[in-house]
Amino acid sequence: MKKFLLSACTLFVVTASVAQLPGTQTWQQKLTPATEAKAIYRFAPVAVGTDGSVISTGTFDQPITIGATQLENVATSAYLAKFNPAGQAVWAVALAGAATITSVDVDTEGNVFAAGTFAESVVVGSVDGKTQNITGMPDVTTEVAAFMVKYDAAGNLKAVRTFVPKAKTDIEGYFYEAGGVFFRPGKIQAANGRVYLSAYFTGDTKIDNVNWTGHYNGIPGVYYVEMSSAGILSFNAADLTDGKEVALLQSKEMLEENGIPVEDVNFAVDGETVYASFVSSGLQMLTTPSSVTELPLTDKDGKKEHPFILAAINADTKVKVFTTEAHDKLFTADRVKNMSVIGDKLYLAGTFYNKLGFNTEIVSQGGSDIFVACLSKGDFSVNWAKASGENEGDMNKKQEVMTGMLVQKDKVFVTGYVEDKGNRNIDANLSFNFSADGVAAAGDNGFVASSDANSAVYAVMSINDKETTLSAYKLENETSVASINALSDENGTIYGLDGKIVATDGNISALPKGVYIVKTSSTARKFIVR
C-alpha cells in the first residue's frame, strides 16, 4: 500500500498539533469483542484503501455484530471487516477457531490481503458463503501455524494459503515438544502484482519451490533446540501461488554450538525494490536472489552486538549493518515495528536497548526506548534519528513497546506503551511526535493499537478496557499549500515550484497534476493545486 505524505511548500506549511493526530475525525465505530480487558488483542492491525475505505481486524471471544452481520466465535476467533469512507460497515467475516490476524493490506483494486496465526482447525469465512477449512499442526492447541488470505472488495474469499512447520525429529539429541516449532507471519504488503510477506520461523516449511529449513543450537549428540530464522516471501497476488524467496537471514550452520537466533524482520516495498530490516547477532548469512552475504556480528567475551541490518533488494542487493556496542543482554528489545518509503526517504520506527545504531550517541533509558530514524533510501545514510528518552524504570522489569507510526511532512507520530515484562500488564500509554528539528514531543496518551494511512485518510484502532474504537481522520488541506488570491482575473504565466515557466497562457488544465504558481501581474500570485 502506498503511504501518504503531504506535499509541502516551504513558506506554507500546516503542522499537526503536538497532542493530536492530524486532521479532523470524520467517524468512529465501537466494538466490545472480549469478555474481559486482558483478552483484548493489543496489536489488531488496520488498513486504509485508496478510496478512503478502512479495513479493521481483531479477535473476539463472544458473539459480535458489525453492521448488519453477526459473527459467532469458536474459542478466540479473528474477524475482518470493511467500512466505507462514511464509516458504514460494508461487510464482515470471521475466521472461526483459534486465530489471530497479524497484518492486513489493501491493493489499488480494493482486494484485501491478511496474514496471521492459527491452531488446529479454523473456518475461514466469506460473504458469499463459500467458506474454507484450514488445519494446523495435529493436536497442537497453540497458534504455531500460519495463514494468508485474499478477499475481493465485496468480501468474497478468493484464495487461502497455510504454512505448517515440521520439526527435525530425527536429529540425535533433539528434544521435541508438541508446538515447539512455529511459523509467525509479520507484515503483508501488496505491490507490483505480488503479495509480500515477512515471517519469523523455526522448523522446516515448504512453500511452493521454496524450502525454509530450521536451524538448531546445541552440543552435538547431547541436545539440540530450535533456533529462529527470518525471511521475506512474495506470491502471485491473483491466487497467492508461485511463492518466491525475497530474503532469508539465518545462522551460518544448521547444527552448531552457541548458535544465535534471528530476532526481528520487517520490510517495505517501493517500486521494484524491497527494503528489508533485520536484527540479529552472531554469525549470520543473508540470502537474496542476487547474493549471499556473510554477516560476522560481534560476539566476544559473553557480549553480543544486536545491530539493525538493512538491505535494498532488486536486481542487486545492497546491505548495510548499523554497528553498535556489544553488551551482555542476550535477548534485546531491538525491533523495527514499522517501515515506510516516502519519496527518497526511508522511515523506520521501533524500539532499541543500549545504544541506537542509527545514532550511537542516543542511549536508551530503562529497558528500552521507542525510536524513529529517517534515512536516504539511496545509500541508507541517516538524515536524523530520535528516541523517546522515556525512563520507564527498572530495565529488568519494564520496557517500551511500539504499536503504530504515521508520517506527515517529515514529522512522525508514534504510539506505544510501557509494559511490565513479568505479567505483560500495561503501566502507561505513550505517544510522541518526532521530527528532525527537535526532541520527541509527548502527545495524548490514549492506547493506540495500530494505525494506517492512504490518500488523505488516517485510520486508528484504539482500546479502552474491553472496548475497541476504530476512528478515521480526514486531512483538511491535503497539500499543505495555502492559496493567495490573485488580484486580477486575466490569464497569467504559470510557474512550477522550481521557478521555471511551464505555461504562458494561464491554462492549467493541460498540465500534469501538481502544485503551480500563477503570476497575473507584478504583485499578484496564486498557488494552484491540480
pLDDT digit string, tens, across residues 179-230 = 789 999 999 999 999 999 999 999 999 999 999 998 887 776 677 778 899 9
Neighbours of 389 (CB within 10 A): 15
Residue 394 lies in a domain: yes
Whether 428 contacts 393, CB under 8 Å: no
Output the pLDDT for position 513: 57
Residue ending a domain, among 121, 146, 164, is 164
Residue 351 lies in a domain: yes
Whether 435 contacts 402, CB under 8 Å: no
Q: Which of 311-315, 376-380, 483-487 has the lowest mean pLDDT?
A: 483-487
Residue 11 banded pLDDT, cuts 50, 70, 90: very low
Residue 518 banded pLDDT, cuts 50, 70, 90: low
Whether 395 contacts 402, CB under 8 Å: no
Same-domain pairing of 135 and 174: no
Whether 272 contacts 289, CB under 8 Å: no
Residue 472 lies in a domain: no
Output the pLDDT for position 5: 33
Residue 96 lies in a domain: yes
pTM of the model: 0.85
Beta strands in 396-492 (DSSP E): 398-408, 411-420, 426-435, 438-442, 448-454, 457-464, 467-474
Output the pLDDT for position 72: 97
Q: Backbone phi, then psi, for 304, in 5-degree steps?
A: -125, 145
Q: What is the C-alpha to C-alpha distance for residues 372 and 379, in angstroms, rounded to an integer? A: 18
Query: Using alpha carbons only, what angle is made at residue 137 by residues 136 and 139, rounded to the nearest 5 degrees?
Result: 115
Higher pLDDT: 206 or 492? It is 206
Residue 480 lies in a domain: no
Query: What is the identity of the amino acid at 515?
Result: V
Does the pLDDT of residue 412 top 60, yes or no?
Answer: yes
Output the pLDDT for position 517: 66
How much of the chain is helix, strand and coil, in % rounded to 5? 0, 55, 45
Output the pLDDT for position 455: 78
Output the pLDDT for position 151: 98
Residue 253 banded pLDDT, cuts 50, 70, 90: confident
Output the pLDDT for position 520: 54
Please provide the DSSP assignment of 283-341 as one string. Answer: EEEEEETTEEEEEE--EETTEE---EEEEEESSSEEEEEE----BS-SS---EEEEEEE
Does the pLDDT of residue 475 top 90, yes or no?
Answer: no
Neighbours of 369 (CB within 10 A): 27
Across the range 60-87, mean pLDDT stands at 97
Across the range 316-323, mean pLDDT stands at 95
Residue 256 banded pLDDT, cuts 50, 70, 90: low
Across the range 306-323, mean pLDDT stands at 95
Reference 413, options 64, 20, 30, 28; nearest CA is 20
Same-domain pairing of 218 and 190: yes
Residue-wise pLDDT tens digits, 119-129: 999 999 999 99
Across the range 252-279, mean pLDDT stands at 87
For residue 194, give the 3-state DSSP assignment: strand
Same-domain pairing of 266 and 305: yes
Across the range 287-313, mean pLDDT stands at 88
Residue 77 banded pLDDT, cuts 50, 70, 90: very high
Residue 1 banded pLDDT, cuts 50, 70, 90: very low
Same-domain pairing of 66 and 108: yes
Computed over every residue of the chain, the mean pLDDT equals: 85
Residue 72 lies in a domain: yes
Q: What is the C-alpha to C-alpha distance for residues 60 and 347, in angstroms, rounded to an integer? A: 33
Expressed as residue numbers, the domain containing 521 is 493-529
Q: Which of 51-65, 199-213, 256-270, 335-349 has the lowest mean pLDDT?
A: 256-270
Same-domain pairing of 306 and 371: no
Residue 486 lies in a domain: no
Same-domain pairing of 358 and 402: yes
For the chain, percent of residues with pLDDT exceeding 90:
63
List the end-to-end C-alpha distance of the chain, in Å, as a whole number. 23
Does the pLDDT of residue 334 top 80, yes or no?
Answer: yes
Output the pLDDT for position 507: 64
Same-domain pairing of 327 and 384: no
Across the range 468-489, mean pLDDT stands at 57
Q: Which of 39-43, 325-329, 334-338, 504-508 has the lowest mean pLDDT?
A: 504-508
Same-domain pairing of 160 and 266: no
Same-domain pairing of 342 and 326: no
Residue ending a domain, among 425, 454, 483, is 454
Same-domain pairing of 385 and 256: no
What residues are paired with 394 via a beta bridge? Answer: none
Same-domain pairing of 255 and 372: no
11 DSSP 8-state letter = T
Q: What is the C-alpha to C-alpha distance for residues 180 and 249, in angstroms, rounded to an integer? A: 20
Residue 475 lies in a domain: no
Output the pLDDT for position 326: 82
Q: Which of 157-171, 459-473, 498-512 has the lowest mean pLDDT?
A: 498-512
Whether 106 contacts 1, CB under 8 Å: yes
Residue ending a domain, among 317, 332, 347, is 332
Does the pLDDT of residue 6 top 50, yes or no?
Answer: no
Residue-wise pLDDT tens digits, 13-47: 222 222 356 678 999 999 999 999 999 999 999 99
Q: What is the C-alpha to C-alpha distance for residues 104 and 148, in angstroms, rounded to an integer? A: 10
**Secondary element (H or E) of residue 78:** strand 77-83
Beta strands in 61-156 (DSSP E): 64-66, 69-71, 77-83, 89-96, 99-106, 112-118, 121-124, 132-135, 145-151
For residue 39, give the 3-state DSSP assignment: helix
Structural domain tally of the chain?
4
Same-domain pairing of 257 and 294: yes
Across the range 263-270, mean pLDDT stands at 96
Residue 331 banded pLDDT, cuts 50, 70, 90: low
* Segment of 104-118, 286-300, 423-437 carrying the highest mean pLDDT: 104-118
Q: Backbone phi, then psi, for 38, in 5-degree steps?
A: -70, -15
Q: Which of 76-80, 333-337, 389-393, 521-525 has the lowest mean pLDDT?
A: 521-525
Output the pLDDT for position 503: 72
Output the pLDDT for position 330: 67
Output the pLDDT for position 479: 39
Does the pLDDT of residue 394 top 70, yes or no?
Answer: yes
